Structure 1
Amino acid sequence: MILCITHSQDFYNIDLFFNYLNTKNIPYFRLNSDRLNHLQKISIQEDFFLLTDESGNTLDSRTVKAVWHRKSWGISIPEELDETYAKIFLKEYASLRYNLLTLLEHVPWINPLQNENKIDGNKIHQLKLAKKHNLTVPQTIFSNDPEKITEFFRQSCSGKMIAKLHGAISKSMGGENLLSTHIIDEDSLEYIGDIEYCPMIFQPYIEKEYELRIVYLDGEFFTGKINNSEHTDWRVAQGDYFWSRYALPESIKANLTSMMKEMDLYIGAIDMIKSRDGNYYFLEVNSQGEWGMLQKELGFPIAERIADNLIKRMKTNE
């Protein structure tokens, strides 16, 4: 049994994964993270848990042999719940979810949960590791201090920098509910005083030839190039953008592989840009990043390779 942790609105990627498991006669269970609440019946004991989901499907954790933690969404609060109890509701169900997931740490995960949390929660740590493994990274400051940000702008940004949130809030690669990266120039710098209400990551604006979305999967690479050189974020820009397959230089693949191994991640969606000065700049890796567009547009068998990885490790672990 493979447990897939996702959310109630997930489709395509997850359907490809389940369809492939069906061809291999591998049983699976879909656990919607946002519905791990009053809609499900859950009992956790010392060594196992029992669960009945919102559709009446039942799961005994002792049958789970591997886990794909695809996506975790926020836990949904019932509309009828008084606001006074909302924080308590979320706190206790978040605790229940954490206890439930950690009971499965002994089986193979496509990414170990604690490793995902460490890497996704620390972009500065990512950049430090990328640099350690000989990848080129932009100069970066994560700050809520207007004076330090202004100093960074003057010294490192040549009159133009980008600002972005540390956390990813987008729900899809289509741009829905996405807060785009902002460009800051001399004119907009005067409003930087408001940063104390929302610390952000700042980097010099890099003139680019194109962007790359790279899916790393246990030493294998699936790389898509998008023909965006003008906008900071193609997902929210209006334009005739298209994906094409891209062959990464072997030196970049070797550096990314050593970085991902130190992060102890089996899979990650890596964003890089090829700059007009000829460099490949590492921006970030998202252990739960989207890749469906690469499989759909370029025919990469990513869902199948994720399943193969889990099946192989599941059998080794028996």
Structure 2
Amino acid sequence: MILCITHSNDFYTIDIFFEYLTSKNIPYFRLNSDHLNYLQKISITDHSFELTDEFGNTFRSSDIKAVWHRKGWRISIPEELDDDYVKIFINEYGNLRYNLYTALEDVPWINPFEAEKKTDGNKLYQLKIAKKNKLTIPKTLFSNDEEEITAFFHTYCNGKAVAKLHGVIAKSMGGENMLSTTIIREDNLESMADIAYCPMIFQPYIEKEYELRIMYVDGEFFTGKINNSEHADWRVNQGNYTWSAYELPENIKSSLTSMMKEMGLYMGAIDMIKGRDENYYFLEVNPQGEWGMLQKELNFPIAERIADNLIKRMKTNE
């Protein structure tokens, strides 16, 4: 059985994944991570567990032969819970969830939980590994120091920079990270006075020809191109763009493959831009990033390839 860890609002790509598993006679179980709380009955002992979900379906850890960590979601809090207990509720159910995941660490995962956690939560780590593997990255500063930011702006940014939050402040209904990207110009620098309360990542604004969303699945690339040359991030204005299939240069594929292997990731949504200077710039990789639009609009068999990878590794692990 393949366990798919997702959330209660997930649809489309996960449905394709399940339909494909059914066609291959592979059993599966959907586990909604946001409902890993009072809605489910969970008992862990001796590094094994039994779980009954919110619909009354039961499985045991011994049933699971592979895991797709599709989408992690914040654990839902019951409305009637007293505010004094919210912190301990989140903490203890978070611990329970982590123990449940680690009980399955010996079966194949996409992606391995610890590798994904390290990568997803550390953009500077991503940039370091990307550069090590011969990818071009923007000059980057992560800081809460107004003077350092101002000096960085005048030294590297040629009058225009982007400022981004390092972490995620929210998720879309589909589970995509919602980012905060701000354009900084000379007359915005005075607003940096409050940066001590919210450190951010700063990079020079790169004049670009287009943006690329690259879905990597264990050495395979499914790349969509979007002609966004004006906005800092296509996701802010995504309803106004059309995707087209794109073939990456072989040297970029090779570097991305080496990077993903060093990070320990079997899959991830990679964002790059093609600059007007002809360089390909690596921006980030989101291990749980969105790719449904690529499958839907470009007919890329991404869900099927994820399933194939898990089936192959599951059989090898038997």
User: What TM-score does the superposition give when structure 2 sets the normalisation length?
Assistant: 0.97
Q: Is the CA contact (8 Å cut-off) linking 2:157 and 2:205 kept in structure 1?
A: yes
Are 2:251 and 1:251 equivalent residues in the alignment? Answer: yes
Are 2:190 and 1:190 equivalent residues in the alignment? Answer: yes
Partner of 2:155: 155
Which amino acid in the other structure matches residue 144 of structure 2? N
> What is the CA distance between 1:193 and its match in structure 2?
1.2
> What is the CA distance between 1:55 and its match in structure 2?
0.7
SS of equivalent to 1:118: helix
Q: 2: distance between equivalents of 1:38 and 1:279?
A: 50
Which amino acid in the other structure matches residue 110 of structure 2? I
Paired positions, count:
318
Q: Is the CA contact (8 Å cut-off) linking 1:173 and 1:235 kept in structure 2?
A: no
Q: Is the CA contact (8 Å cut-off) linking 1:40 and 1:53 kept in structure 2?
A: yes
CA deviations over 1:226-272 (Å, ceiling 9, x no partner): 01100011222277311000010001001111111111110011000
Are 2:312 and 1:312 equivalent residues in the alignment? Answer: yes
Partner of 2:54: 54
Q: 1: distance between equivalents of 2:305 and 2:33?
A: 23
Question: What is the root-mean-square deviation in Å for CA atoms of aligned residues?
Answer: 1.5
Which amino acid in the other structure matches residue 118 of structure 1? K
Partner of 1:85: 85
> What is the CA distance between 1:59 and its match in structure 2?
1.1
Partner of 2:132: 132
Partner of 1:275: 275
* Percent of residue pairs identical: 75
Q: 2: distance between equivalents of 1:237 and 1:189?
A: 25
Distance 1:206 1:174, change over 3 A: farther
Q: Is the CA contact (8 Å cut-off) linking 2:176 and 2:289 kept in structure 1?
A: no
> What is the CA distance between 1:147 and its match in structure 2?
1.0
> What is the CA distance between 1:174 and its match in structure 2?
8.2
Which amino acid in the other structure matches residue 167 of structure 1? G
Partner of 1:143: 143
Equivalences for 1:1-318 in 2 at 5 Å? Answer: 1-172=1-172, 178-237=178-237, 240-318=240-318
Q: 2: distance between equivalents of 1:266 and 1:306?
A: 9
Deviates more, 1:161-170 or 1:140-149: 161-170
Which amino acid in the other structure matches residue 125 of structure 1? Y
Listed as ranges, the gaps of 5+ residues in structure 2 are: none
> What is the CA distance between 1:168 and its match in structure 2?
3.1
Which amino acid in the other structure matches residue 160 of structure 2? K
Which amino acid in the other structure matches residue 54 of structure 1? E
Listed as ranges, the gaps of 5+ residues in structure 1 are: none
CA deviations over 1:53-112 (Å, ceiling 9, x no partner): 111111111100000001111111100000000001000000000000000000000111
Q: 2: distance between equivalents of 1:242 and 1:127?
A: 28
Q: Is the CA contact (8 Å cut-off) linking 1:175 and 1:235 kept in structure 2?
A: no
Deviating beyond 4 angstroms after TM superposition, the runs of 4 or more aligned structure 1 residues are 173-177
> What is the CA distance between 1:15 and its match in structure 2?
0.6
SS of equivalent to 2:234: coil
